[in-house]
Amino acid sequence: MFSRKRYTDDILSEVDFYTRRSQIRSLLLSCLVTLGIGCTFLPGKNWVITDSFIAVLLSLYLLGISGKLLYGTTNELIEASLDEEENRKIKEIINRTEGVTGSSELKTRKIGSGVAINACVTVSDSLNIQEVAEITDQVEKRLKTVYGQEAYTLIKAEPDSERNCSYLKKRSF
């Protein structure tokens, strides 16, 4: 039903990925630089700018990789929300839990290699506190099955009649 994806993709593994990818491309880039330098020795004026052109291409490539790394680390430092696909998946996990009649106020963020999930679920008005606690425990277990035991989860339950989850609206995450 849900994949067992663990959040181990911290910034070091991302840097390692780019390092390996750049090692594969380094041969091509070295050949291009050698070609650019070699073309400056060819007769004619058209070949003189080849070295500069290849240097610009190489610098744009390095700027692109730097930008991706900067974007990822900045989002991690400011604790940005998970992407829409992950949020949709989390809502689906919550809403498919038996006893949950709805969910709202989902707040997610990545913390290091783990995730934090705060949500409000609505349950039937006729349930007692014990049954509601079991439902929220079940939601947390299902989320931790997908996102790992180190995932921080805070699930608040409110009766179906209120449907506003006022507690989470007062707090900012």
Residue ranges of domains in the chain:
11-77, 84-170
- Taking CA atoms, 157 is separated from 65, 76, 77, 134, 149, in Å, by 43, 28, 30, 11, 21
Integer Cα distance of 72 and 64 in angstroms: 13
Overall pTM surpassing 0.85 (yes/no): no
Three-state secondary structure of 59-96:
HHHHHHHHHHHHHHHHHHHCCCCCCHHHHHHHHHHHHC
152-169 residue pLDDT tens: 999 999 988 755 555 445
- Over residues 105-117, mean pLDDT: 86
Task: Write phi, then psi, for 153 (nearest 5 degrees).
Answer: -125, 140
Q: CB of 151 within 8 A of CB of 116?
A: yes
- Taking CA atoms, 16 is separated from 11, 69, 70, 126, 160, in Å, by 9, 11, 15, 53, 47
Q: CB of 163 within 8 A of CB of 121?
A: no
37-81 residue pLDDT tens: 887 787 777 777 777 888 888 889 889 989 988 988 887 777 778
Q: Which CATH class is domain 84-170?
A: alpha beta
